[in-house]
Structure 1
Amino acid sequence: MLPSASSSSAAGVLPPLPENRVVLGCGGLGLDYLATVSAFPKPDAKIRSTNLMVQGGGNAGNALTCAARLGLTSRLISKVADDALGRSLLAELEADGVDTSHIVVSKEGNSPFTYIIVDDQTKTRTCIHTPGNPTMVPEDLSRPSLLSALDGAQLVYSDVRFHETALVIAKEAARMKIPILLDSERKREGLDDLLNLADYVVCSAKFPQAWTEASSIPSALVNMLLRLPNIKFVIVTLGEDGCIMLERSINEGPESEETDVDNLLESLKQGVDHDSVLPTCISSKSVMQLSAAGIGTVSGMLLVGTAEKIPPDELIDTTGAGDAFIGAILYAICAGMSPEKMLPFAAQVAGAGCRALGARMGLPQRTDPRLAPFLH
């Protein structure tokens, strides 16, 4: 059957896929048992779920599934057991086009899984995680397998799980001059070593101040760029409040203006269009000398991105929203998107994922009409 005129024209307006679109990820993979409840249970209470779903999860598994649906060639390094859960995880990834050939399958032990309680009232989720056993160690990844996984990669991503293995991958990627994106959700063992090799960082709202002990998020971002000279940009995700991005500039120019980064953030927030339903982005426009009291000054641009305003009756579950955001950032870097385009695009992808239960059910395909305006 020939495609309809409308579908042909919709596909025709999409830009071509990035020429270099292989991304390699290392990190968490597991099975999620998601139960929605009308209200979170009190201690010793017995309640019934209003909905139940079982699907793949884990930060790296989710982010690379998102990237694959957007058209990237995703490869994942992780570890599961040779059990029903592990086989289910591999099959689900393969159905989404994720290359699982570098995932280690242990003959013994158990695959990781997580119980997730989704509160219908607050739209929050509570996770109870059971790690996989035995855990992944560098010896699980042979040198030939590592080089094969990195072959042709445009970008390497890690969520800091299996930090020793992730460090081996990151060191080889750095030697091969392959950029590295790090998901800094919280302070973890081995994180600092990976941060020193990273080119891009996406972190949670609490991480920058927890890591730097700075008095504000903008000051913490300045601190991070000063302490991590390889970092090109750092993004802080703020849930429904959007995100903040600090991009380093190497072309500061002789007339660069110095300004307080906290004051600049407040000024940018005043320019946000609060009536816009779709994600938007406001930037400082020009490169500035951004200063943080008691910390120092860095040359760069500050950007504020908004989240999609999802109607309450469409908001189902925020599980994996941050992973979807990162999957879209991986695509944006490969596609060479400007920061002003990248942040709204990633927010739109994350918003789409919040309209279904679980981290993957709502992840959009590249051909989703909701993404078309953000891909140009």
Structure 2
Amino acid sequence: MTAPFASSPADSRGRLFAEDESAFRSCFQRDRDRIIHASAFRRLKHKTQVFIEHEGDYFRTRLTHSIEVAQVARTIAGVLGLNGELTEAIALAHDLGHPPFGHTGEEALQALMEPYGGFDHNAQAIRIVTSLERHYAEFDGLNLTWETLEGIAKHNGPVVGDIPYALADYNARHDLELHSYASAEAQVAALADDIAYNNHDLHDGLRAELFDTDELARMPLLDRCFARVDTKYPGLNYYRRRHEALRRFFGLLVEDVIEQARAALADLNPQSAQDVRDAGRPVVRFSDGVWADLKVIRQFLFERMYRAPPVVEMRREVTRKIDDLFPLFMTRTDLLPKQWRKDVADAADDTALARIVADYIAGMTDRFAIQSHVQLLGGEALGSAMSSPHRLGERLAD
């Protein structure tokens, strides 16, 4: 049953460019489908989550992460009576703006773009779905509904202070009301992101042997999950034991969010999606106790995984590659693919040029960025990343 505070396709604020509605799909379902078919979405399969894309076939990529987030988000939305299609669209799009090499790539681009308005992956996702995807005859971007764009822009909360240029530029044309909270569907997508990455980063860290199962079994939240597995399945082998425990950890986080959201919504008693936006506080969140325990786990992951010596060394290597490529393309725009050079010709100043270069580099996959560095600057490949060469002249958004 749909809740009164769910986002309704019938009440959508529509698209920037008016279109005839589909006879078979709601406007939010069309948004989700357009995101799935977008070039930027396909490229997520070769963008890293934590480990560089070539380091192993079983580590998460941005694509597998986005699919996991969408699955969690759809489940929570269903329990709360929210619109599942809008929730799923926001979840699938939330990482579209990530550059190659994960947060390391984002930090490198942010430093390089500091003189030109900065770089932010959420804002870049808006730029992709409103401008850089150029397939349709009547408009640039995917022409998503206001509700989906709002969710992508502010699923983590209101955007205040210095607004990233990519977001400010679009917001000036199509007001996303950045000062307020987003819909309940967007808030669910944000918490699903937290649940998914906290769970799968533990999986990937174990697979990479950066820590062991016994260490996890002593941590808050996880200790009770391992205890339940040991009670129910005494003597279970190593791999099944940790999988069963992490499965319960995953469920614990989902159940906590659902319980807290139900209580918050009952207290607020919103009668429309707008009531949720106007509440002045999030309605979808972890309980204080679970959030405190999660911060302990996140600190553990930061120290033992995100800042592990091999990960830090790889971060240095890939940062150097972006640091080399950015000034090269700024001074040698002839090295950009033909369709990008058309935008360069219209650039009014260095800031406009830098934003084009940042768009190009941000769209690269891990392997394409490495290959570009090898071909243009004589850099060294990282491991087996050269196994699938790409043509430098191909358009990233083909």
> TM-score per shorter chain, which class?
under 0.3
User: Which one has a larger percent strand, Structure 1 or Structure 2?
Assistant: 1
- TM-score normalized by structure 2? 0.23
When normalised by structure 1's length, the TM-score is 0.24
Q: Which has the higher contact order (CA 8 A, sep 6+)?
A: 2
Q: Would you tell me which structure has more helix in proportion to its own residues?
A: 2
